[in-house]
Amino acid sequence: MFHPSCSPDCRRDVAMESREPLKKERQLGLLPDDRHDSGLDSMKEEEYALLVEELRGIRLQPSEELGPLHEGQHPPAQPWQLQVTEEGDTFLHLAIIHEEKALSLEVIRQATGDPAVLNFQNNLNQTPLHLAVITEQPEIAETLLKAGCDPEIRDFRGNTPLHIACEQGSLRGVSVLTQYCQQHHLYSVLQSANYNGHTCLHLASIQGYLAIVERLLSLGADVNAQEPCNGRTALHLAVDLQNSELVSLLVKHGADVNKVTYQGYSPYQLTWGRESSSIQEQLKHLTTADLQMLPESEDEESCESESEFTEDELIYDDCVIGGRQLAF
């Protein structure tokens, strides 16, 4: 454990003073069970107070004091690099969760080029970069990217840090992640889907974050990418959500209005029975005639091909009771 260096009363005062800015779940509208981080708010007040003071009591040894290294030699692991909590969080994870900016930057500086520290995943498969995005600390995220962290690593839901930024609606987070991400990493992240089958564009579209949608499209996100479960594109999602502005934006950026779901529905066909007539008008003149009418119901087709007898009414001629065949 880290070692505290002041009285319990002092720790409690420091904790109360530092706790307010850490309640990101209230700003994000997340309930405790929906939190993406390691559950900081679930700690008891006394435990939290102790941990905050222990963090502040740590003195990192500057890398210059470690002495010169020979070629091929790696610096010895420092104590803070070996500390892992029950939730799998390293000292860097904790410093970011607690928004200890100075400590976070110092750890990142000393860990520059060390993937074992920068990309370490906790029990929720979150790297420090995931937590920097979740807690909305773009400066920390930028420093991590410059230090060499991997932006393609997925958490327990299959989300990269960019997926999370898009879902949260963090335009600053999206800007930092896309600006300081190497091009091959960026292309891969833009095309990848999380474990629910959603790309970054899908997530931003579902939440209706138009500025983020436009940013992603300008960077090369596939506007016609389909969800693997049912084949909906961002345009299908925009119709489902009745978001007229999003429909216009996607069409402007080349969304294929004739792309169909795996059940054969075009975006226009999804407008039937919906309230927004403006969306229907936007898509009608762009959609081919064969994709404007609703497909024939499979149920109707199946009914027409059914036998005249139901399963209970089928005639059996091989019923035997007591060794004697029944006569019908």
Q: Give residue 277's pLDDT.
A: 87
Q: What is the topology classification, in CATH, of domain 223-294?
A: 1.25.40
Average pLDDT over residues 66-92: 70
Confidence of residue 324 (pLDDT cuts 50, 70, 90): low
Number of C-beta neighbours around residue 22 at 10 A: 17
What does the DSSP assignment read for 36-86? SSS-GGGS-HHHHHHHHHHHHH--PPPGGGG----TTPPPPPPHHHH-B-T
- What tokens does 117 get? 């520290």
On the question of pLDDT at 90 being above 60, the answer is yes
Cα distance between residue 123 and residue 37, in whole Å? 10
Q: Give residue 296's pLDDT.
A: 62
Task: Tell me the CATH architecture of domain 151-217.
Answer: Alpha Horseshoe (1.25)
The residue that leads in pLDDT, 79 or 28, is: 79
Q: Chain-wide mean pLDDT for the chain?
A: 79
- Per domain, the residue ranges of the chain are 1-60+78-135, 151-217, 223-294
Q: Give residue 317's pLDDT.
A: 60
Beta-carbon contacts of 226 under 8 Å, excluding residues fewer than 6 positions away, are: 232, 233, 259, 261
Average pLDDT over residues 68-82: 60
Task: Judge if 151-217 and 223-294 fold alike in CATH terms.
Answer: yes
End-to-end alpha carbon distance in the chain: 85
Confidence of residue 8 (pLDDT cuts 50, 70, 90): very low
Q: Give residue 14's pLDDT.
A: 35
pLDDT tens digits, one per residue of 212-264 = 999 999 999 999 999 988 999 999 999 999 999 999 999 999 999 999 999 99
Confidence of residue 158 (pLDDT cuts 50, 70, 90): very high
Closest by Cα among 196, 205, 243, 244 to 224: 205
pLDDT tens digits, one per residue of 28-56 = 333 334 445 555 554 556 765 666 666 66
% the chain with pLDDT above 90: 55
Q: Give residue 84's pLDDT.
A: 87
pLDDT tens digits, one per residue of 146-156 = 999 999 999 99
Q: Give residue 309's pLDDT.
A: 43
Confidence of residue 197 (pLDDT cuts 50, 70, 90): very high
Cα distance between residue 189 and residue 154, in whole Å? 10
